[in-house]
Structure 1
Amino acid sequence: MLRLLTRFIGLLLLAGGFIALIVDGTRSIAGGQLMVTTLRRGASALFPALFQSFQASVENLSAFLWDPVVSTLMLAPVCVALGGVGALLILVSHRESAPVGYGRR
């Protein structure tokens, strides 16, 4: 049951990453230049209050921790982040197959 739920969430995240890729591609074609939605821009547009509280809690935890988080994780494209996490969840939920020599005859 947990494997099914993990695979379903991974599939939804992978689909969300693909949709974000299509949206970024459409914006890039319409604008005539490469336009990529970062995690910071996407999170602040979708969940402004939650993003502000997340930023405040990280800054309260450690003042210098917010800058590396923004410079590394929050500047990643949404399509890469969602697609990567979705693919990772699908791979984790994959059932391991039996070794080749141990089957029925």
Structure 2
Amino acid sequence: MLRLLTRFLGFLLLAVGFMALIVDGTRSIAGGGLMVTTLRRGASESFPGLYNGLEAGVAAKSAFLWDPVLTTLMLLPVSLALGGLGALLIIFSHKQEATNRYWRR
């Protein structure tokens, strides 16, 4: 059951990442140049209160964590971040095969 839920969430994140890639592509074609939506811009435009609260909370706990680590992660494109996370969830949801069976020798 957990494997099914993980695979479903992976496919959902992969689909959302692909949709973000299509949106960035059409925006780039319409604008005449490369335009990429970063995680910071996407989160601050979609959920402004939640993003500002998260930024303030993490910065209050540890300035070291927010400044170098999370700011570099927040510069990733939305399509790459969500698509990569979805692909990892799909890969991790596969069942492991037994390697030491007698007919595979």
Distance change >3 Å, CA 35–CA 99, structure 1 → 2:
same
How far residue 96 of structure 1 moved from its aligned partner, in angstroms, is 1.3
Where in structure 1 do 4 or more consecutive aligned residues deviate above 6 Å?
A: none
- What residue in structure 1 maps to residue 38 of structure 2? 38
Counterpart CA distance in 1 for 2:11 and 2:102 is 31
TM-score under structure 1 normalisation? 0.91
Which stretch of the first structure deviates more once superposed, 77-86 or 56-65? 56-65
Ranges in structure 1 where 5+ consecutive residues have no aligned partner: none
- What residue in structure 1 maps to residue 73 of structure 2? 73
- What residue in structure 1 maps to residue 92 of structure 2? 92
Task: Please give the residue correspondences for 1:1-105 in structure 2 after superposition, counting only pairs within 5 Å.
Answer: 1-68=1-68, 69-70=70-71, 72-99=72-99, 101-102=101-102
Amino acid at match of 2:93: S
Amino acid at match of 1:38: T
How far residue 73 of structure 1 moved from its aligned partner, in angstroms, is 0.3
Counterpart CA distance in 2 for 1:66 and 1:99 is 43
Counterpart CA distance in 1 for 2:36 and 2:98 is 42
Which stretch of the first structure deviates more once superposed, 51-60 or 90-99? 90-99
Ranges in structure 2 where 5+ consecutive residues have no aligned partner: none
How far residue 20 of structure 1 moved from its aligned partner, in angstroms, is 0.3
TM-score under structure 2 normalisation? 0.91
How far residue 81 of structure 1 moved from its aligned partner, in angstroms, is 0.2
Counterpart CA distance in 2 for 1:23 and 1:31 is 12
